[in-house]
Chain A
Amino acid sequence: MLSWLPEHPDLGRALSGARAIADPMDRLRAAVRLAGHDRDVVATGRVDRLAGDGLRGGGPDGIAANGLSPLRIAVLSSHTVDHLIPAIRVAGLNHRMALSIHVGAYGLYRQALLNGDPELADFAPQLVVLALDMAAVLPGLPLGTSQDEVEAAVAAAVEDLRLLWRQIRARYGAQPVQQTLVDPSPSLFGSFDGLVPASPASLCARLNAAIRSAAREDGALLLDVDWQLPPRWGEAERVDPVRWHQAKQLVNPTFAPLYGDLVARVAAALAGRSRKCLVLDLDNTVWGGVVGDDGVEGIRLGQGSAEGEAFLAFQRYAARLAERGVILAVCSKNDDAVARAAFDQHPEMALRHSDIACFVANWTDKATNLREIARRINIGTDSLVFVDDNPAERALVRRELPEVAVPELPDDVSYYAARIAQAGYFEAASLTGDDLSRSRSYAANAQRAAAMETATDMDGYLRSLEMRLTVREIGPIDRPRAAQLINKSNQFNLTTRRRTEQELEALLKDPSALGYGFRLSDRFGDNGLISVILARPDAAWPDDDLLIDTWLMSCRVLGRGVEAAALATLAKAAIRRGAAALIGEYRPSGRNGMVASHYERLGFSPVETPSGAAADARFWRLPLAGADLPTPFIAVELIQ
Chain B
Amino acid sequence: MTEAELYDAFTEVIRDVFDDDTIVVGPETTAEDVEGWDSQAHVMLIVATEQRFGVRFRASEFESLRNVGEFVALIATKLTSR
Please give the residue numbers on chain A whose beta carbons come within 8 Å of chain B beta carbons, in ascending order.
12, 15-16, 19, 40-43, 45-46, 49, 82-83, 242-243, 245-247, 249, 253-254
Contact = CB atoms under 8 A, between A and B. Distances in A.
B17 A246 contact: no
A247 B19 contact: no
Interface in B4-24: 13, 16-17, 19, 21
B21 A245 contact: no
Contact of B43 (A16, A49, A243): A243
B59 A245 contact: yes
A375 to B, nearest CB: 41
Given A242-B59, A246-B59, A254-B51, A42 B43 contact: no
Contacts of A253: 43-44, 47
A570 to B, nearest CB: 70
Nearest to A249: B43
B40 interface: yes
B39 interface: yes
Q: How large is the interface on B (under 10, 10 to 19, 20 to 34, 35 or more residues)?
A: 10 to 19
A232 to B, nearest CB: 15
A340 B75 CA distance: 61
B47 A254 contact: yes
B54 to A, nearest CB: 9
Contact of A247 (B21, B39, B51, B58): B39
A41 B19 contact: no
Contacts of A254: 47, 51
Contacts of A45: 17, 19, 44
Contacts of A243: 43, 47
Nearest to B43: A247
B47 A82 contact: no
A83 B19 contact: no
A83 B43 CA distance: 9
B48 interface: yes
A253 B40 CA distance: 11
17 contacts: A12-B16, A19-B21, A42-B13, A42-B16, A42-B17, A42-B48, A43-B16, A45-B19, A45-B44, A46-B19, A83-B44, A242-B59, A245-B59, A246-B62, A247-B39, A247-B40, A247-B43
A15 B17 CA distance: 12
Nearest to A50: B19
Contact of B21 (A16, A40, A83, A246): A16
Contact of A40 (B40, B43, B51, B62): B51
Nearest to B57: A242
A49 B51 CA distance: 21
B52 to A, nearest CB: 9
A5 to B, nearest CB: 18
A4 B19 CA distance: 25
A115 B67 CA distance: 44
9 pairs of A and B residues whose beta carbons are closest in the complex? A42-B48, A253-B47, A46-B19, A49-B19, A42-B16, A247-B43, A242-B59, A82-B40, A16-B21
A254 to B, nearest CB: 6
A46 B16 contact: yes
Contacts of B58: 242
A616 B63 CA distance: 108
Interface in B28-82: 39-40, 43-44, 47-48, 51, 57-59, 62-63
B59 A41 contact: no
B53 to A, nearest CB: 13
A43 B43 CA distance: 15
Contacts of A12: 16
A19 B59 contact: no
A16 B12 CA distance: 12
Contacts of A49: 19
A376 to B, nearest CB: 44
Given A41-B47, A45-B19, A49-B19, 14 more contacts: A19-B21, A41-B44, A42-B16, A42-B48, A42-B51, A82-B40, A83-B40, A83-B43, A242-B59, A243-B43, A243-B47, A246-B43, A247-B39, A247-B43
Nearest to A252: B47
A40 B47 CA distance: 11
A548 to B, nearest CB: 77
